[in-house]
Amino acid sequence: MKIKDAKIRDLSRKMYEDELPPIKVILGHNGIGKTRFLKNEYDLDCGEKAYLSETYPILSKKFIEIIKELDLFEELTFIKVREKDLRMLAAMLGKRYKSIKYTIVSMNELEERYEAEDIMKIFGASIIEELNEYRSHVFYYIEVEDEYGFTYTSHEMGVGEYLIAVYFFMFNLEPEKKPIYYIDEPCNYLAPMSLRNYVKLLIYAAVNKNIQFVMTTNNYDLVDYLINFNAKIQLILKEQEEVIEVDTEKYTQIFRKEIFNDKGLLNKKVVFTEDQLAMDFLKDKVDSVLFVKTNGEANLTKVVDVIKLAGHAILNGVNIKCVYDGDQRSKIEENEWVSVLPFLNVEEEIFRLFEEEDPYFSEIETLERYQILSTIREEEIHDAYRRLKCILNKNDDEIVSYLQEKHKGWIDDFVASFKE
């Protein structure tokens, strides 16, 4: 979502100030009974509610396909997404849409048109059994036109794109439908960048739409983002027949200690970076090293803070480096285990070289150069970087390899700084 992190933290503060219910997250190992516990919570709740299992997006797409085959869409009313909401959804997915409209279909609408026996024949017994789980819920059919004029529907969408769109409609555009959502493994189909925006959507909907969330997950990045945004959360650990409430400190001890546990990390060189491109810049230059990307400056800072707290108990004899992007230089104090890249970040550096007419870009024609400059200055950094790669016909490895040549001196110093 194109909402600044500071704004999300302001919303998180309102969760406490307005005494709103916490976002409830159920943790635990596979097979421990998280889903069963979630269903029990759902069954005990007598209010307006919805249950979304991890099979929801797959089943929803099946359901919609059959509805389409029955030619029922002409009888349904489509809702066009407003421009403001369109931009917000596009930012969540890192895509550009010209227009989106959707319609909602449920089992109830089918039962108004068909007898039970006919519905059974249409869907088949196995899908009917699954659909009974969603009798109180709805499915979304979506039609999209992207920035290039290409049109497609939820039938052609990938599961991740479809699921993010559906979450957005449920939590932001149609929140009066269900004030409490019970969600089993909401992150299974979400990309890392979408996951961060999904967490923003949860906090936004909790405060501005008065929606409550209860969910299971084994994706600890989801919890880390909630903690990083200071959201009001309740962490429940399911262990055999026990249900234990844990605070964020206990959560870190249980689920995040593996970075420094007995899996051999203490006997290796370990480099933490903010993202994949920064990791790629260094990964083939240091021998016998374990690289860990933290998905953002805030998460890397948490690692740094843990090291500071642990002190020599962790650092004694251990080769650990935490490498920030160069845009953090003014905030970061470098030392023997904290470094800063010699440029803002990989994307910004390649843009800088392009604007300075580096020889690497000599084959680009004048018109293409103008188009790229316009893209760099007007579009979001990730979109501009993707467009530049496409025009250059280069992949990440080729671009990073070139940057390694340009900054060979810095890399040599970085490699030499490791204690043997």
Cα Rg of the chain, angstroms: 24
Q: Rounded to an integer, what distance in angstroms lies between the CA atom of residue 200 and that of residue 3?
A: 8
Note the pLDDT of residue 262.
44
With 0-12 / 13-18 / 19 or more C-beta atoms within 10 angstroms meaning exposed / middle / buried, residue 416 is: exposed
Mean pLDDT, rounded, for 148-168: 87
Note the pLDDT of residue 207.
93
User: Which class does domain 5-254 fall in?
Assistant: alpha beta
Distances (CA, A) of 207 to 13, 118, 380: 10, 43, 27
- Range(s) within the chain of domains with CATH label 3.40.50.300: 5-254
Q: Is the pLDDT of residue 137 over 70?
A: no
Torsion angles phi and psi, residue 104, rounded to 5: -115, 135
Note the pLDDT of residue 315.
55
Q: Is the pLDDT of residue 14 over 90?
A: yes
Note the pLDDT of residue 247.
82
**DSSP structure class, residue 230:** T
Note the pLDDT of residue 355.
79
| Cβ atoms of 355 and 373 closer than 8 Å | yes
Phi-psi region of 51 (alpha: psi -120 to 50; beta: other; left: phi over 0): beta
The residue ranking higher by pLDDT, 11 or 250, is 11
Mean pLDDT, rounded, for 244-248: 82
Pairing mode, strands 319-324 and 338-340 = parallel
Q: Residue 58: how many CB atoms within 10 A of its CB?
A: 15
With 0-12 / 13-18 / 19 or more C-beta atoms within 10 angstroms meaning exposed / middle / buried, residue 102 is: buried
> 52: which strand partners?
183
In sequence order, which ranges of 328-393 are alpha helices (DSSP H)? 346-355, 366-378, 381-392
With 0-12 / 13-18 / 19 or more C-beta atoms within 10 angstroms meaning exposed / middle / buried, residue 73 is: middle
Torsion angles phi and psi, residue 334, rounded to 5: -75, 145
Note the pLDDT of residue 12.
94
Q: Is the pLDDT of residue 361 over 80?
A: no
With 0-12 / 13-18 / 19 or more C-beta atoms within 10 angstroms meaning exposed / middle / buried, residue 393 is: exposed
Mean pLDDT, rounded, for 403-416: 90
Mean pLDDT, rounded, for 396-417: 89
Closest residue by Cα to residue 321 from 281, 349, 361, 352: 281
Each residue's pLDDT tens digit, 45-84 = 877 888 888 878 877 877 787 777 777 666 778 899 999 8
Can you list the positions of beta strands (E) in 57-171? 79-80, 97-106, 138-146, 151-153
Q: Is the pLDDT of residue 263 over 60?
A: no
